Protein backbone atom coordinates (compact mmCIF):
# COMPACT_ATOMS: atom_id res chain seq x y z
CA UNK A 1 0.00 0.00 0.00
CA UNK A 2 1.43 3.39 -1.02
CA UNK A 3 1.04 5.94 1.77
CA UNK A 4 1.11 9.66 1.07
CA UNK A 5 2.89 12.05 3.43
CA UNK A 6 1.58 15.47 4.38
CA UNK A 7 3.69 18.49 3.48
CA UNK A 8 1.81 20.86 5.72
CA UNK A 9 -0.13 20.11 8.92
CA UNK A 10 0.98 16.89 10.64
CA UNK A 11 -1.01 13.67 10.59
CA UNK A 12 -2.31 12.82 14.08
CA UNK A 13 -3.88 9.58 15.31
CA UNK A 14 -6.18 8.97 18.26
CA UNK A 15 -5.99 5.41 19.60
CA UNK A 16 -8.82 4.43 21.94
CA UNK A 17 -7.91 1.11 23.62
CA UNK A 18 -11.22 0.24 25.22
CA UNK A 19 -12.64 -2.74 27.05
CA UNK A 20 -14.95 -3.69 24.16
CA UNK A 21 -13.10 -2.27 21.15
CA UNK A 22 -9.83 -0.75 19.94
CA UNK A 23 -10.41 2.19 17.63
CA UNK A 24 -7.84 4.16 15.60
CA UNK A 25 -8.85 7.47 14.02
CA UNK A 26 -6.48 9.38 11.72
CA UNK A 27 -6.97 13.12 11.31
CA UNK A 28 -5.34 16.33 10.17
CA UNK A 29 -6.01 19.99 10.83
CA UNK A 30 -6.84 21.97 7.71
CA UNK A 31 -5.67 25.50 6.93
CA UNK A 32 -8.47 26.91 9.09
CA UNK A 33 -7.62 24.71 12.07
CA UNK A 34 -10.65 22.42 11.52
CA UNK A 35 -10.17 18.69 12.02
CA UNK A 36 -10.47 16.59 8.88
CA UNK A 37 -11.02 12.88 9.49
CA UNK A 38 -8.93 10.88 7.01
CA UNK A 39 -9.69 7.34 8.13
CA UNK A 40 -10.90 5.07 10.92
CA UNK A 41 -10.34 1.46 11.88
CA UNK A 42 -11.95 -0.57 14.65
CA UNK A 43 -11.46 -4.05 16.09
CA UNK A 44 -13.09 -5.97 18.97
CA UNK A 45 -10.97 -5.93 22.13
CA UNK A 46 -10.38 -9.07 24.20
CA UNK A 47 -7.38 -8.23 26.38
CA UNK A 48 -8.87 -5.62 28.73
CA UNK A 49 -11.10 -5.49 31.78
CA UNK A 50 -12.44 -2.33 33.43
CA UNK A 51 -10.25 -0.22 31.16
CA UNK A 52 -6.98 -1.96 32.07
CA UNK A 53 -4.93 -4.38 29.97
CA UNK A 54 -5.03 -7.95 31.28
CA UNK A 55 -3.50 -9.74 28.27
CA UNK A 56 -0.71 -8.35 26.10
CA UNK A 57 -0.91 -10.27 22.81
CA UNK A 58 -4.68 -9.99 22.18
CA UNK A 59 -4.37 -6.24 22.81
CA UNK A 60 -1.38 -5.92 20.47
CA UNK A 61 -3.27 -7.82 17.78
CA UNK A 62 -6.33 -5.58 18.14
CA UNK A 63 -4.20 -2.41 17.97
CA UNK A 64 -2.44 -3.71 14.87
CA UNK A 65 -5.69 -4.58 13.07
CA UNK A 66 -7.40 -1.29 13.99
CA UNK A 67 -4.45 0.86 12.89
CA UNK A 68 -3.95 -1.09 9.66
CA UNK A 69 -7.62 -0.64 8.74
CA UNK A 70 -7.39 3.10 9.50
CA UNK A 71 -4.28 3.48 7.29
CA UNK A 72 -5.92 1.56 4.45
CA UNK A 73 -8.86 3.99 4.47
CA UNK A 74 -6.78 7.14 4.99
CA UNK A 75 -3.92 6.14 2.66
CA UNK A 76 -1.50 7.95 4.99
CA UNK A 77 0.84 6.71 7.75
CA UNK A 78 -0.24 6.82 11.38
CA UNK A 79 2.06 9.72 12.30
CA UNK A 80 2.05 11.06 15.86
CA UNK A 81 -0.15 8.86 18.05
CA UNK A 82 -2.14 9.77 21.17
CA UNK A 83 -3.45 6.95 23.36
CA UNK A 84 -6.20 7.14 25.99
CA UNK A 85 -5.85 5.80 29.53
CA UNK A 86 -8.60 5.04 32.05
CA UNK A 87 -9.23 2.75 34.99
CA UNK A 88 -9.80 2.67 38.71
CA UNK A 89 -6.08 3.28 39.32
CA UNK A 90 -6.37 6.88 38.03
CA UNK A 91 -6.17 9.58 40.71
CA UNK A 92 -6.25 13.35 40.40
CA UNK A 93 -5.83 16.50 42.47
CA UNK A 94 -5.76 20.28 42.12
CA UNK A 95 -2.50 21.98 43.06
CA UNK A 96 -1.30 25.61 43.17
CA UNK A 97 2.19 27.13 43.17
CA UNK A 98 3.61 30.67 43.32
CA UNK A 99 6.93 31.98 41.97
CA UNK A 100 8.54 35.40 42.03
CA UNK A 101 9.03 37.16 38.70
CA UNK A 102 12.74 37.58 37.98
CA UNK A 103 12.43 40.80 35.95
CA UNK A 104 9.11 42.49 36.86
CA UNK A 105 9.69 45.55 34.68
CA UNK A 106 10.12 43.43 31.55
CA UNK A 107 6.93 41.46 32.11
CA UNK A 108 6.34 37.75 32.58
CA UNK A 109 8.11 35.53 30.06
CA UNK A 110 7.95 31.85 29.12
CA UNK A 111 10.62 30.94 31.66
CA UNK A 112 8.54 32.43 34.51
CA UNK A 113 5.51 30.51 33.29
CA UNK A 114 7.45 27.25 33.08
CA UNK A 115 8.96 27.70 36.55
CA UNK A 116 5.49 28.11 38.08
CA UNK A 117 4.18 24.98 36.35
CA UNK A 118 7.26 22.96 37.32
CA UNK A 119 6.89 23.99 40.95
CA UNK A 120 3.25 22.85 40.96
CA UNK A 121 3.92 19.50 39.28
CA UNK A 122 7.29 18.44 40.71
CA UNK A 123 6.48 18.64 44.39
CA UNK A 124 3.87 15.89 44.31
CA UNK A 125 4.26 12.96 46.67
CA UNK A 126 3.95 9.79 44.57
CA UNK A 127 4.10 6.21 45.81
CA UNK A 128 6.54 3.77 44.21
CA UNK A 129 3.84 2.35 41.94
CA UNK A 130 2.53 5.76 40.77
CA UNK A 131 3.57 8.12 37.98
CA UNK A 132 2.41 11.49 36.69
CA UNK A 133 0.24 11.02 33.61
CA UNK A 134 -0.35 14.67 32.75
CA UNK A 135 -1.26 18.06 34.13
CA UNK A 136 -3.78 20.66 32.99
CA UNK A 137 -3.18 24.35 33.59
CA UNK A 138 -6.43 25.83 34.84
CA UNK A 139 -5.38 29.48 35.09
CA UNK A 140 -2.73 31.94 36.26
CA UNK A 141 -2.98 34.83 38.70
CA UNK A 142 -0.58 37.77 38.80
CA UNK A 143 -0.05 39.32 42.25
CA UNK A 144 -3.05 37.24 43.45
CA UNK A 145 -5.29 39.19 41.07
CA UNK A 146 -7.91 38.04 38.60
CA UNK A 147 -7.35 34.78 36.67
CA UNK A 148 -5.82 34.84 33.21
CA UNK A 149 -5.23 31.96 30.78
CA UNK A 150 -2.01 33.51 29.43
CA UNK A 151 0.24 35.70 31.62
CA UNK A 152 3.00 36.21 29.03
CA UNK A 153 3.94 39.89 28.67
CA UNK A 154 1.92 41.09 31.68
CA UNK A 155 3.73 42.92 34.51
CA UNK A 156 3.78 41.76 38.11
CA UNK A 157 5.99 40.60 40.95
CA UNK A 158 4.48 37.14 41.54
CA UNK A 159 2.87 34.50 39.36
CA UNK A 160 0.49 31.85 40.72
CA UNK A 161 -0.59 28.85 38.68
CA UNK A 162 -3.59 26.60 39.33
CA UNK A 163 -3.22 23.07 37.90
CA UNK A 164 -5.11 19.80 37.73
CA UNK A 165 -2.74 16.86 38.21
CA UNK A 166 -3.52 13.33 36.94
CA UNK A 167 -1.63 10.31 38.30
CA UNK A 168 -1.86 6.61 37.60
CA UNK A 169 -0.35 3.19 38.16
CA UNK A 170 3.09 2.80 36.59
CA UNK A 171 2.38 -0.79 35.56
CA UNK A 172 -0.87 0.16 33.80
CA UNK A 173 0.88 2.92 31.86
CA UNK A 174 3.78 0.63 30.92
CA UNK A 175 1.36 -2.06 29.71
CA UNK A 176 -0.27 0.44 27.34
CA UNK A 177 3.09 1.68 26.06
CA UNK A 178 4.35 -1.89 25.63
CA UNK A 179 1.31 -2.93 23.58
CA UNK A 180 1.43 0.15 21.35
CA UNK A 181 5.16 -0.29 20.72
CA UNK A 182 4.76 -3.99 19.92
CA UNK A 183 2.11 -2.98 17.40
CA UNK A 184 4.76 -0.87 15.66
CA UNK A 185 4.47 2.64 17.15
CA UNK A 186 7.49 3.74 19.13
CA UNK A 187 6.48 6.98 20.86
CA UNK A 188 2.85 6.96 22.09
CA UNK A 189 1.56 9.98 24.02
CA UNK A 190 -0.61 8.96 26.99
CA UNK A 191 -3.73 11.10 27.63
CA UNK A 192 -6.52 10.81 30.19
CA UNK A 193 -9.60 9.52 28.35
CA UNK A 194 -12.15 11.75 30.07
CA UNK A 195 -10.08 14.84 29.20
CA UNK A 196 -9.89 13.73 25.56
CA UNK A 197 -13.61 12.95 25.32
CA UNK A 198 -14.53 16.34 26.76
CA UNK A 199 -12.52 18.07 24.01
CA UNK A 200 -14.64 16.48 21.27
CA UNK A 201 -18.20 16.81 22.63
CA UNK A 202 -18.26 19.83 24.96
CA UNK A 203 -18.51 23.39 23.63
CA UNK A 204 -16.42 26.30 24.97
CA UNK A 205 -19.65 27.92 26.18
CA UNK A 206 -20.57 24.83 28.24
CA UNK A 207 -17.04 24.58 29.61
CA UNK A 208 -17.25 28.21 30.75
CA UNK A 209 -20.72 27.85 32.35
CA UNK A 210 -19.88 24.62 34.14
CA UNK A 211 -20.49 21.10 32.80
CA UNK A 212 -19.83 17.48 33.72
CA UNK A 213 -18.83 14.99 31.06
CA UNK A 214 -19.88 11.39 31.73
CA UNK A 215 -18.28 8.93 29.30
CA UNK A 216 -19.97 5.57 29.82
CA UNK A 217 -17.62 3.13 28.13
CA UNK A 218 -17.51 -0.63 28.19
CA UNK A 219 -15.53 -1.23 31.37
CA UNK A 220 -15.42 2.19 33.04
CA UNK A 221 -17.36 5.41 33.37
CA UNK A 222 -15.05 8.42 33.08
CA UNK A 223 -15.98 11.80 34.57
CA UNK A 224 -14.57 15.27 33.85
CA UNK A 225 -15.97 18.37 35.55
CA UNK A 226 -15.26 21.73 33.87
CA UNK A 227 -15.97 25.26 35.10
CA UNK A 228 -14.80 28.71 33.98
CA UNK A 229 -13.14 27.22 30.93
CA UNK A 230 -10.96 24.59 32.63
CA UNK A 231 -11.01 21.05 33.99
CA UNK A 232 -11.63 21.15 37.75
CA UNK A 233 -12.11 17.47 38.65
CA UNK A 234 -11.72 14.08 36.99
CA UNK A 235 -12.69 10.64 38.22
CA UNK A 236 -13.15 7.00 37.27
CA UNK A 237 -15.94 4.57 38.12
CA UNK A 238 -15.03 0.90 37.45
CA UNK A 239 -18.41 0.12 35.95
CA UNK A 240 -19.75 0.60 32.42
CA UNK A 241 -21.77 -0.91 29.61
CA UNK A 242 -20.20 -4.36 30.05
CA UNK A 243 -21.89 -4.62 33.45
CA UNK A 244 -25.25 -4.05 31.79
CA UNK A 245 -24.55 -6.86 29.33
CA UNK A 246 -23.52 -9.19 32.17
CA UNK A 247 -26.72 -8.38 34.06
CA UNK A 248 -28.75 -9.21 30.95
CA UNK A 249 -26.88 -12.50 30.49
CA UNK A 250 -27.42 -13.51 34.12
CA UNK A 251 -31.13 -12.62 34.31
CA UNK A 252 -32.02 -14.04 30.88
CA UNK A 253 -29.63 -17.04 31.13
CA UNK A 254 -27.94 -16.30 27.82
CA UNK A 255 -24.38 -15.86 26.58
CA UNK A 256 -22.56 -12.54 27.05
CA UNK A 257 -22.22 -11.98 23.30
CA UNK A 258 -25.95 -12.51 22.78
CA UNK A 259 -26.73 -10.17 25.68
CA UNK A 260 -24.48 -7.48 24.16
CA UNK A 261 -26.15 -7.82 20.77
CA UNK A 262 -29.64 -7.63 22.28
CA UNK A 263 -28.67 -4.54 24.25
CA UNK A 264 -27.42 -2.78 21.13
CA UNK A 265 -30.30 -3.92 18.90
CA UNK A 266 -33.41 -3.39 21.04
CA UNK A 267 -32.12 -2.18 24.40
CA UNK A 268 -33.82 0.77 26.11
CA UNK A 269 -32.90 2.51 29.34
CA UNK A 270 -36.45 3.55 30.22
CA UNK A 271 -39.13 0.84 30.67
CA UNK A 272 -41.92 3.39 30.21
CA UNK A 273 -40.78 3.85 26.60
CA UNK A 274 -41.33 0.14 25.83
CA UNK A 275 -44.64 -1.33 24.72
CA UNK A 276 -45.84 -3.88 27.27
CA UNK A 277 -46.16 -7.42 25.96
CA UNK A 278 -43.64 -7.03 23.12
CA UNK A 279 -41.20 -9.96 23.10
CA UNK A 280 -37.90 -11.12 21.61
CA UNK A 281 -36.01 -14.38 21.46
CA UNK A 282 -32.45 -15.22 22.52
CA UNK A 283 -30.48 -18.50 22.41
CA UNK A 284 -30.23 -20.28 25.76
CA UNK A 285 -26.79 -20.32 27.44
CA UNK A 286 -26.97 -24.10 27.92
CA UNK A 287 -28.37 -24.97 24.49
CA UNK A 288 -27.58 -22.57 21.62
CA UNK A 289 -30.21 -24.28 19.46
CA UNK A 290 -32.96 -23.49 21.94
CA UNK A 291 -34.55 -20.03 21.78
CA UNK A 292 -35.97 -18.46 24.93
CA UNK A 293 -38.66 -15.79 24.76
CA UNK A 294 -38.52 -12.67 26.98
CA UNK A 295 -40.33 -9.35 27.22
CA UNK A 296 -38.60 -6.16 26.06
CA UNK A 297 -40.01 -4.48 29.17
CA UNK A 298 -37.98 -6.88 31.34
CA UNK A 299 -34.86 -6.07 29.30
CA UNK A 300 -35.41 -2.35 29.86
CA UNK A 301 -35.81 -2.90 33.61
CA UNK A 302 -32.44 -4.69 33.74
CA UNK A 303 -30.73 -1.87 31.84
CA UNK A 304 -32.36 0.87 33.90
CA UNK A 305 -31.37 -0.78 37.18
CA UNK A 306 -27.65 -0.92 36.35
CA UNK A 307 -27.64 2.61 34.91
CA UNK A 308 -29.20 3.86 38.14
CA UNK A 309 -26.27 2.27 40.02
CA UNK A 310 -23.76 3.97 37.72
CA UNK A 311 -25.39 7.39 37.93
CA UNK A 312 -25.69 7.18 41.72
CA UNK A 313 -21.91 6.72 41.86
CA UNK A 314 -21.47 9.61 39.43
CA UNK A 315 -23.70 11.79 41.61
CA UNK A 316 -21.59 10.96 44.64
CA UNK A 317 -18.40 11.95 42.81
CA UNK A 318 -19.85 15.25 41.58
CA UNK A 319 -21.11 16.16 45.05
CA UNK A 320 -17.72 15.31 46.55
CA UNK A 321 -16.00 17.51 43.97
CA UNK A 322 -17.89 20.56 45.41
CA UNK A 323 -18.73 21.79 41.89
CA UNK A 324 -22.31 20.47 41.69
CA UNK A 325 -23.89 23.91 42.16
CA UNK A 326 -21.69 25.37 39.40
CA UNK A 327 -22.74 22.99 36.62
CA UNK A 328 -25.08 25.47 34.92
CA UNK A 329 -24.72 23.71 31.54
CA UNK A 330 -25.66 20.38 33.12
CA UNK A 331 -24.44 16.95 32.01
CA UNK A 332 -23.09 15.68 28.69
CA UNK A 333 -23.27 11.90 28.19
CA UNK A 334 -21.02 10.17 25.70
CA UNK A 335 -19.49 6.76 24.99
CA UNK A 336 -21.24 3.83 23.33
CA UNK A 337 -23.72 3.30 26.17
CA UNK A 338 -24.98 6.87 25.68
CA UNK A 339 -26.76 5.66 22.53
CA UNK A 340 -29.32 3.70 24.59
CA UNK A 341 -32.78 5.27 24.13
CA UNK A 342 -34.00 6.89 27.33
CA UNK A 343 -30.58 7.12 29.01
CA UNK A 344 -30.71 10.90 29.32
CA UNK A 345 -34.05 10.58 31.16
CA UNK A 346 -32.48 8.19 33.70
CA UNK A 347 -29.46 10.46 34.12
CA UNK A 348 -31.61 13.55 34.66
CA UNK A 349 -33.72 11.76 37.28
CA UNK A 350 -30.73 10.52 39.30
CA UNK A 351 -28.42 13.53 38.87
CA UNK A 352 -31.23 16.11 39.06
CA UNK A 353 -29.93 18.33 36.28
CA UNK A 354 -30.40 18.66 32.55
CA UNK A 355 -28.58 16.20 30.34
CA UNK A 356 -27.80 15.78 26.65
CA UNK A 357 -26.02 13.18 24.52
CA UNK A 358 -22.66 14.38 23.23
CA UNK A 359 -21.64 13.84 19.60
CA UNK A 360 -18.22 14.86 18.22
CA UNK A 361 -18.49 18.29 16.58
CA UNK A 362 -16.60 20.46 14.10
CA UNK A 363 -15.40 17.63 11.84
CA UNK A 364 -14.70 17.45 8.11
CA UNK A 365 -13.74 14.61 5.78
CA UNK A 366 -15.12 11.24 6.93
CA UNK A 367 -17.15 13.02 9.61
CA UNK A 368 -20.28 10.95 8.91
CA UNK A 369 -18.36 7.75 9.74
CA UNK A 370 -17.31 8.85 13.22
CA UNK A 371 -20.21 11.14 14.13
CA UNK A 372 -21.19 9.07 17.17
CA UNK A 373 -20.55 9.09 20.93
CA UNK A 374 -18.72 5.80 20.36
CA UNK A 375 -15.82 7.74 18.84
CA UNK A 376 -15.71 10.67 21.27
CA UNK A 377 -12.45 9.55 22.90
CA UNK A 378 -10.61 8.76 19.65
CA UNK A 379 -11.50 12.13 18.13
CA UNK A 380 -10.80 13.95 21.38
CA UNK A 381 -7.30 12.46 21.45
CA UNK A 382 -6.61 14.08 18.07
CA UNK A 383 -7.98 17.41 19.34
CA UNK A 384 -5.64 17.11 22.30
CA UNK A 385 -2.70 16.55 19.96
CA UNK A 386 -3.73 19.58 17.90
CA UNK A 387 -3.84 21.73 21.02
CA UNK A 388 -0.39 20.55 22.16
CA UNK A 389 1.07 21.33 18.74
CA UNK A 390 -0.59 24.75 18.68
CA UNK A 391 0.81 25.51 22.14
CA UNK A 392 4.32 24.51 21.05
CA UNK A 393 3.96 26.65 17.94
CA UNK A 394 3.01 29.69 20.05
CA UNK A 395 6.06 29.10 22.26
CA UNK A 396 8.39 28.97 19.25
CA UNK A 397 6.74 32.08 17.84
CA UNK A 398 7.23 33.90 21.15
CA UNK A 399 10.89 32.97 21.30
CA UNK A 400 11.31 34.11 17.68
CA UNK A 401 9.75 37.50 18.49
CA UNK A 402 12.09 37.96 21.46
CA UNK A 403 15.14 37.11 19.34
CA UNK A 404 13.99 39.51 16.62
CA UNK A 405 13.53 42.24 19.24
CA UNK A 406 17.04 41.65 20.60
CA UNK A 407 18.48 41.69 17.09
CA UNK A 408 16.75 44.99 16.29
CA UNK A 409 17.68 46.57 19.63
CA UNK A 410 21.34 45.60 19.86
CA UNK A 411 22.33 45.37 16.19
pLDDT of res. 394: 65
Give domain status of residue 270, yes or no. Answer: yes
**CATH number of the domain that residue 158 is part of:** 3.30.1490.110
Give domain status of residue 100, yes or no. Answer: yes
- What confidence category does residue 2 fall into, taking pLDDT thresholds of 50, 70 and 90? very low
- What confidence category does residue 409 fall into, taking pLDDT thresholds of 50, 70 and 90? very low
Bridge partner residues of 148 (DSSP): 140
Length, in residues, of the chain? 411
Q: Which of 145, 168, 191 is the last residue of a domain?
A: 168
pLDDT of res. 5: 45
Average pLDDT, stretch 380-395? 86
pLDDT of res. 411: 42
User: 388: which residues sit within 8 A by CB, 6+ positions away?
Assistant: 189
Range of the domain at 159: 91-168
N- to C-terminal Cα separation, the chain? 53
- What confidence category does residue 236 fall into, taking pLDDT thresholds of 50, 70 and 90? very high
- Domain count for the chain, please give it: 2
Average pLDDT, stretch 61-72? 97
- What confidence category does residue 79 fall into, taking pLDDT thresholds of 50, 70 and 90? confident
In the chain, % of residues over pLDDT 70: 93
Give domain status of residue 104, yes or no. Answer: yes
More reliable by pLDDT, 401 or 251? 251
Q: Which of 114, 147, 168 is the last residue of a domain?
A: 168
d(CA 46, CA 57): 10
pLDDT tens, 99-134? 999 999 889 999 999 999 999 998 788 888 999 999
Average pLDDT, stretch 332-361? 97
Indicate whether 407 pLDDT > 50: no
User: 1: which residues sit within 8 A by CB, 6+ positions away?
Assistant: 71, 72, 75
- What confidence category does residue 398 fall into, taking pLDDT thresholds of 50, 70 and 90? low
Give domain status of residue 9, yes or no. Answer: no
Average pLDDT, the chain: 91
- What confidence category does residue 383 fall into, taking pLDDT thresholds of 50, 70 and 90? very high
Give domain status of residue 393, yes or no. Answer: no
**CATH number of the domain that residue 255 is part of:** 3.30.420.40
Indicate whether 59 pLDDT > 80: yes
pLDDT tens, 214-233? 999 999 999 999 999 999 99
pLDDT tens, 81-105? 999 999 999 999 999 999 999 999 8
d(CA 299, CA 303): 6
Model-level pTM greater than 0.75?
yes
Give domain status of residue 259, yes or no. Answer: yes
Average pLDDT, stretch 293-307? 97
Give domain status of residue 144, yes or no. Answer: yes
Q: Which of 129, 148, 168 is the last residue of a domain?
A: 168
pLDDT tens, 277-298? 999 999 998 877 889 999 999 9
User: 347: which residues sit within 8 A by CB, 6+ positions away?
Assistant: 214, 307, 311, 331, 333, 355
Reduce the DSSP state of residue 301 to 3 states and report it. helix
Give domain status of residue 117, yes or no. Answer: yes
Of residues 349, 337, 271, the one with CA closest to residue 308: 349
Amino acid sequence: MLLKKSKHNPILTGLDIGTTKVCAIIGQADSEGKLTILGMGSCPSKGLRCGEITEIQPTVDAIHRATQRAMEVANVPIGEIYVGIAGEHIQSMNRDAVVEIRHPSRGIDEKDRSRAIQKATRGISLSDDQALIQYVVQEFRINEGRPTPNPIGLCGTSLKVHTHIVMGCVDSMQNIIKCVRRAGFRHPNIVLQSLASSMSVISPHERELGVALIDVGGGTTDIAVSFEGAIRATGEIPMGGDYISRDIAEVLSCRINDAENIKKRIGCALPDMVERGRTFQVPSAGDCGKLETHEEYTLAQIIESRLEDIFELVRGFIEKSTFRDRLHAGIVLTGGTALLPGITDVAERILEMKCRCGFPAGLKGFAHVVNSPIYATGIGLIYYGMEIRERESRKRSGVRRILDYLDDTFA
